[in-house]
């Protein structure tokens, strides 16, 4: 077993389980892999652990439609079989969406996934036109300052947002689709952006709908 | 049934660790259409409560009943309870998010005295009147159980019924009785009265406390409530598909109970007295349930639990078989606490294969005289040998538990703890290769003795708190500093524990006053206030310090005399006298019966997995 088989799982974190933390979600997946009886590889040494790695953390309360994890298997198991096994071993709210194998040489998900797409839902009462105006106004400033853990932090929107946010409206309910660049120094949280645009305290539901790898050809999906 | 999720959800954005409140874990059984709804509550946070094995056992037993739903309830953390009160969201069950007040029965385990105010907090959040006699026809029956049922009096007023002893069969009988009462259209009072007909069930409203302090039945209720005891643990499988939490709970692992009871006979230990006799599960069942549980839960760790797992007559065989089956899966096997004298080299190797969690040993006392007085049948040589073996086998951390304030303790006994720790450290160091000595740690945890009902020390007073503090300082000064981490349990909490452990019915008013004054999560040091409790108890006419310190007449009445644990008072008195003479009493599991009275009194026998039975 030189490198093993690197299985990539795309999964959801939805419904009530969006209230799980990154750690809790990770643990849930490790246990699902055990319940599914996958031939997972374990690390060597003192404290053997399953070889599994996750994409960028999703905050407590934020849902995800296409989150990722990589798990190293000691044996090849057909993709359909893996997906069925995992699907039957984890809560519906965390269900696997898609599975596939990637090269064991592939760099880690956390380092490769640099673009996140979000959908931010706003409470009723923000008319789409007004929302559009607020976002435009903020985008025109080029950046904004916000307080984070007692420190002032400046977000340069040209860097933080690789694409202009879009306003969507559906049956009177306004939503924003936005794309955020993630880096080693953290990323702009959609909640922070929205409160800079329309003021703090508006309850919002945030869903990370996609994660992308950014390379010369553009944005590509990890699977 | 009203699902209140829509009202709970908005609160989750403002609280810590919302995973505590969302349900949807792996292994949850949901029966929304059942005709009868049981809520099982552990009076602490989700993280603490989910580790409780008794609730898992009871939930698994209830799941065998048709048409019965069993749902979990824990105490919301202070941020959540504040949000719930602000938005008028009642306490809800996890599985169906139904208000607890809409359940048919609410079962509450009482794990220790410091959870008492949490029970009141839960009842209040649920909108259920605190006192049993204030409840109406539509309120659920509130039934208690667990370790504190052995002195139920301080909490008696808040419960409709309290089960004493093993719940596997009794809980099902309680449910059956209540369902029959409901079907027959009986009133709440009649339903509660019917429960008194079940062995082991105490219905406080049917008893009065006399001027002499004796609790007596008012009419035809039994004069004494006899503890329920399951004769053979192997009658039921250990729960193999328990709920697997997402949140990081206290003992986040698969568990198999390998034996119940412990008859080593430590004289301060209530569990060792009230869970007699020893009943071992056979190796085949343990291995079968362990493998099934790991498969069903996906846990990465398995714990073989009991009061004294290393005492199991087939433990080595069990560990060997499990190690074979689990090879290459990265699954660790742990044993919660080890007896020093049953720690052996093969055992060290078998456990050393897994993750090397630290070892915990409980010598309890520093001097041989005091260890003999409390019947901790262990010599210093055995302690040092065990430490040597553990560190030779690769362990680098050991945690030692001691107690201050044990009956007959002197200053010499206290400083002897430091001397013992010093020798343990030296033995550990000698067994550790020089290059690895940097990681060597001896943790020493010192608690305060609390006199408990149904033990040979039940008549003793607790050492006054000033004296406890003086001995703590003395111990700290005598303790070696290098490589030793010393920690003390808060003496104030131990004082409260003593008052409630010894207390009679009159203590209920104190518990209620303390809760009204804001006491909740008393087991969490950041929420505990001795001053608040002292005041609350004083308002109920109890001088906490004097009450805890008072020694009782060994022939007089005790508040728990109507609870029959099976132990004979003569045995307890004789054990108390032997303590004064520092005379030990042998373990009856493998030796002769020492006459505690439990086996003949309750009609059970010691069960040793090898098939041999002694009674
Ligand atoms: S009656 Fe005898 S054998 Fe049974 S638990 Fe007591 S001492 Fe042990």
Give dist(CA A173, CA A7) in Å, integer: 39
Which pLDDT score is estimated for B1?
77
CB contact under 8 A, A15 and B25: no
Model confidence band, residue B354 (pLDDT cutoffs 50, 70, 90): very low
Residues in contact with A41: Cβ distance below 8 Å, sequence separation at least 6, in sequence order = A1, A4, A50, A51, A72, A73, A74
Which pLDDT score is estimated for A2?
46
Higher pLDDT, A153 or B408: B408
Which pLDDT score is estimated for B352?
62
Tell me what the mean pLDDT of segment B169-192 comes to.
98
Nearest Cα residue to B21 out of B75, B88, B99? B75
> How many CB atoms are located within 10 Å of the residue B220 CB?
9
User: Is the pLDDT confidence value at B283 over 70?
Assistant: yes
A91 lies within 8 A of chain B by CB: yes
**DSSP string for residues in A125-193:** T--HHHHHHHHHHHHHH-EEEEEETTEEEEEEHHHH-SS--EEEEETTEEEEEEEEE-BTTB---HHHH
CB contact under 8 A, B246 and A49: no
Which pLDDT score is estimated for B615?
40
Element (H, E) at B283: helix B283-297
Please list every protein residue whose CB sits less than 6 Å from any atom of ligand 1.
Answer: B 263, 276-277, 588, 593-599, 606, 614-615
Tell me what the mean pLDDT of segment A199-221 comes to.
88
User: Is the pLDDT confidence value at B473 over 90?
Assistant: yes
Which pLDDT score is estimated for B355?
43
Burial of B7 (0-12, 13-18, 19+ CB in 10 A): middle
User: Is the pLDDT confidence value at A57 over 90?
Assistant: yes
Mean pLDDT of chain B: 94
Model confidence band, residue B341 (pLDDT cutoffs 50, 70, 90): low
Give dist(CA B513, CA B494) in Å, integer: 19
> How many CB atoms are located within 10 Å of the residue A17 CB?
24
The SS3 of residue A50 is strand
Give dist(CA B493, CA B533) in Å, integer: 10
User: Is the pLDDT confidence value at B542 over 60?
Assistant: yes
User: Is the pLDDT confidence value at B551 over 90?
Assistant: yes
Tokens of residue B92, six digits:
């809800």
ipTM of this predicted structure: 0.91
> How many CB atoms are located within 10 Å of the residue B467 CB?
14
The SS3 of residue B559 is coil
Give dist(CA B182, CA B88) in Å, integer: 30
DSSP B6: H
B244 lies within 8 A of chain A by CB: yes
A46 lies within 8 A of chain B by CB: yes
CB contact under 8 A, B298 and A33: yes
User: Poorest-confidence range of A201-210, B120-129, B293-302?
Assistant: A201-210
Residue whose CA is at the smallest distance from ligand 1 atom 6: B596
List pLDDT tens digits, range B376-392: 988 999 999 988 988 88
CB contact under 8 A, A16 and B24: yes
Largest CA distance in chain A: 60
Report whether B471 contacts B366 (CB < 8 A).
no
List pLDDT tens digits, range A181-198: 998 777 899 999 998 998
Give dist(CA B300, CA B330) in Å, integer: 7
> How many CB atoms are located within 10 Å of the residue A68 CB?
23
Give dist(CA A184, CA A113) in Å, integer: 11
DSSP B204: G
Model confidence band, residue B73 (pLDDT cutoffs 50, 70, 90): very high
**Centroid of ligand 1 to alpha carbon of B342 (angstroms):** 20
Produce one character per residue of B480-515: b if its CB has 16 or more CB atoms within 10 Å, e if not: beebbebebbebbbbbbbbbbbbbbbbbbbbbbbbb
DSSP B313: T
> Sign (positive/negative) of CA torsion A211, A33, B73, B113?
negative
- B92, B93, B99, B105 alpha-carbon torsion, rounded to 10°: -130
- The number of angstroms, rounded, from the C-alpha of B489 to the middle of its chain's C-alpha atoms is 17
Q: Do you find a cis peptide bond into B277, omega within 30 degrees of 0?
A: yes
| Cβ under 8 Å to A: B residues 298-317 | 298-300
Residue whose CA is at the smallest distance from ligand 1 atom 4: B599
Question: Chain A residues with CB inside 8 Å of B13's CB?
Answer: 61, 203
Report whether B347 contacts B315 (CB < 8 A).
yes
Phi/psi region, residue B298 (left: phi>0; alpha: psi -120 to 50; beta: rest), is: left
Which pLDDT score is estimated for B614?
44
Which pLDDT score is estimated for A49?
86
pTM exceeds 0.90: yes
User: Is the pLDDT confidence value at B195 over 90?
Assistant: yes
Residues in contact with A128: Cβ distance below 8 Å, sequence separation at least 6, in sequence order = A167, A168, A169, A174
Phi/psi region, residue A162 (left: phi>0; alpha: psi -120 to 50; beta: rest), is: alpha
List pLDDT tens digits, range B152-166: 999 999 999 999 999
- The number of angstroms, rounded, from the C-alpha of B412 to the middle of its chain's C-alpha atoms is 31
Produce one character per residue of A153-166: b if its CB has 16 or more CB atoms within 10 Å, e if not: eebebeebbeeebe
Q: Out of B13, B300, B330, whose CB is closest to A61?
A: B13
Tell me what the mean pLDDT of segment B211-222 comes to.
91
Report whether B600 contacts B609 (CB < 8 A).
no
Which pLDDT score is estimated for A203?
66
Give dist(CA B83, CA B9) in Å, integer: 11
Which pLDDT score is estimated for B83?
98
User: Poorest-confidence range of A154-163, B74-83, B225-234?
Assistant: A154-163
DSSP lists the bridge partners of residue A64 as: A13, A208
The SS3 of residue B444 is strand
Residues in contact with A61: Cβ distance below 8 Å, sequence separation at least 6, in sequence order = A18, A19, A206, B12, B13, B18
Model confidence band, residue B356 (pLDDT cutoffs 50, 70, 90): low
Query: Which runs of E-coded beta strand occur in B14-169?
Result: 36-41, 68-73, 105-109, 141-145, 161-163
Report whether A187 contacts A176 (CB < 8 A).
no
Helix spans in B77-205 (H): 78-86, 116-126, 153-156, 170-183, 188-195
Give dist(CA A28, CA B68) in Å, integer: 28
Tell me what the mean pLDDT of segment B351-364 comes to.
70
B356 lies within 8 A of chain A by CB: yes
> How many CB atoms are located within 10 Å of the residue A104 CB?
12
User: Is the pLDDT confidence value at B367 over 60?
Assistant: yes
Tokens of residue B126, six digits:
């649920």
User: Is the pLDDT confidence value at A130 over 80?
Assistant: yes
Give dist(CA B391, CA B508) in Å, integer: 48
Nearest Cα residue to B270 out of B278, B261, B257, B279? B261
User: Is the pLDDT confidence value at B340 over 80?
Assistant: no
- The number of angstroms, rounded, from the C-alpha of B544 to the middle of its chain's C-alpha atoms is 23
Element (H, E) at A64: strand A63-73
Q: Label each residue of B497-527 as H, E or C.
A: HHHHHHCCCCHHHHHHHHHHCCCCCCCCHHH
Tell me what the mean pLDDT of segment A130-153 comes to.
88
List pLDDT tens digits, range B423-446: 999 999 999 999 988 888 899 999
User: Poorest-confidence range of A44-53, B43-52, B219-228, B513-522?
Assistant: A44-53
Which pLDDT score is estimated for B389?
86
CB contact under 8 A, B18 and A24: no
Q: Out of A31, A46, A48, whose CB is closest to B298?
A: A31
- The number of angstroms, rounded, from the C-alpha of B572 to the middle of its chain's C-alpha atoms is 21
User: Is the pLDDT confidence value at B342 over 80?
Assistant: no
**DSSP string for residues in B419-440:** HHHHHHHHHHHHTS-GGGGGG-
């Amino acid at each position: 077993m030189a490198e093993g088989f690197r299985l990539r799982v795309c999964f959801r974190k939805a419904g009530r389980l969006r209230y799980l933390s990154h750690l809790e979600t990770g643990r849930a997946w490790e246990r699902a892999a055990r319940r599914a009886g996958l031939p997972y590889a374990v690390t060597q040494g003192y404290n053997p652990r399953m070889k599994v790695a996750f994409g960028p953390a999703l905050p407590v309360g934020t849902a995800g439609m296409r989150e990722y994890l990589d798990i190293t298997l000691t044996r090849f198991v057909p993709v359909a079989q893996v997906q069925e096994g995992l699907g039957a071993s984890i809560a519906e709210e965390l269900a696997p969406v898609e599975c596939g194998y990637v090269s064991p040489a592939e760099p880690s998900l956390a380092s490769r996934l640099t673009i996140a797409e979000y959908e931010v839902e706003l409470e009723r009462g923000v008319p789409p036109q007004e929302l559009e105006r607020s976002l435009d106004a903020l985008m025109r400033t080029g950046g904004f300052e916000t307080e984070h853990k007692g420190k002032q932090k400046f977000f340069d929107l040209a860097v933080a947002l690789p694409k202009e946010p879009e306003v969507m409206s559906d049956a009177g309910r306004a939503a924003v689709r936005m794309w955020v660049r993630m880096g080693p120094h953290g990323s702009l949280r959609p909640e922070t952006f929205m409160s800079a645009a329309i003021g703090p305290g508006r309850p919002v539901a945030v869903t990370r709908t996609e994660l992308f790898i950014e390379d010369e050809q553009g944005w590509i999906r990890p699977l | 049934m009203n699902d209140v999720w829509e009202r709970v959800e908005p609160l989750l954005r403002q609280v810590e660790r919302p995973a505590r409140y969302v349900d949807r874990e792996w292994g949850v059984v949901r029966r929304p259409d059942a005709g009868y709804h049981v809520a099982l509550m552990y009076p602490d946070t989700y993280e603490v409560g989910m580790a409780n094995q008794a609730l898992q056992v009871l939930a698994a037993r209830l799941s065998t009943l048709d048409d019965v739903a069993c749902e979990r309830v824990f105490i919301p953390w202070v941020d959540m309870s504040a949000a719930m009160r602000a938005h008028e969201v009642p306490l809800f069950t996890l599985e169906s998010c139904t208000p607890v007040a809409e359940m048919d029965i609410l079962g509450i385990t009482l794990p220790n005295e410091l959870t008492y105010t949490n029970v009141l907090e839960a009842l209040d959040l649920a909108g259920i009147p605190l006192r049993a006699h204030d409840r109406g026809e539509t309120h659920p029956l509130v039934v208690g159980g667990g370790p504190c049922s052995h002195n139920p009096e301080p909490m008696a007023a808040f419960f409709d019924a309290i089960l004493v002893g093993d719940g596997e069969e009794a809980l099902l009988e309680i449910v059956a009785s209540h369902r029959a009462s409901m079907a027959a259209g009986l009133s709440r009072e009649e339903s509660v009265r019917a429960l008194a007909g079940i062995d082991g069930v105490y219905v406080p409203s049917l008893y009065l406390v006399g001027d002499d302090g004796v609790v007596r039945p008012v009419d035809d209720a039994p004069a004494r409530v006899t503890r329920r005891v399951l004769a053979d643990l192997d009658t039921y499988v250990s729960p193999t598909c328990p709920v697997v939490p997402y949140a990081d709970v206290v003992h986040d692992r698969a568990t198999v109970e390998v034996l119940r009871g412990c008859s080593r006979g430590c004289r301060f230990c209530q569990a060792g007295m009230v869970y007699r006799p020893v009943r071992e599960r056979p190796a085949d069942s343990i291995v079968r349930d362990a493998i099934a549980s790991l498969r069903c839960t996906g846990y990465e760790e398995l714990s073989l639990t009991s009061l004294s797992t290393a005492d199991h007559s087939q433990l080595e065989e069990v560990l060997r078989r499990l190690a074979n089956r689990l090879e290459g899966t990265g699954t660790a096997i742990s044993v919660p606490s080890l007896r020093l004298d049953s720690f052996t080299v093969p055992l060290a190797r078998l456990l050393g294969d897994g993750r090397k969690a630290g070892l915990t040993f409980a010598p309890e006392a520093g001097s041989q005289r005091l260890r003999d007085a409390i019947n901790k049948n262990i010599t210093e040589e055995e302690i040092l040998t065990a430490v040597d073996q553990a560190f030779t086998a690769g362990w680098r951390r050991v945690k030692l538990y001691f107690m201050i304030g044990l009956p007959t303790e002197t200053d010499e006994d206290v400083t002897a703890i430091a001397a013992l720790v010093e020798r343990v450290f030296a033995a550990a160091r000698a067994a550790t290769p020089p290059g690895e000595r940097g990681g060597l740690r001896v943790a020493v945890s010192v608690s305060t003795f609390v006199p408990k009902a149904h033990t040979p020390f039940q008549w003793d007073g607790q050492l006054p708190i000033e004296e406890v503090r003086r001995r703590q300082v003395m111990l700290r000064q005598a303790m070696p500093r290098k490589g030793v981490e010393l920690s003390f349990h808060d003496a104030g909490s131990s004082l409260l524990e003593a008052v409630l452990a010894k207390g009679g019915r009159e203590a209920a008013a104190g518990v209620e006053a303390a809760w009204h004054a804001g006491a909740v999560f008393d087991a969490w040091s950041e929420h505990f206030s001795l001053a608040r409790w002292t005041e609350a108890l004083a308002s109920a006419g109890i001088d906490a310090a004097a009450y805890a310190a008072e020694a009782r007449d060994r022939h007089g009445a005790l508040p728990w005399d109507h609870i029959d644990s099976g132990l004979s008072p003569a045995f307890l008195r004789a054990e108390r006298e032997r303590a004064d003479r520092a005379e030990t009493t042998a373990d009856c599991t493998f030796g002769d019966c020492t006459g505690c009275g439990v086996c003949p009194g309750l009609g059970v026998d010691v069960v040793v997995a090898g098939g041999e039975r002694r009674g």
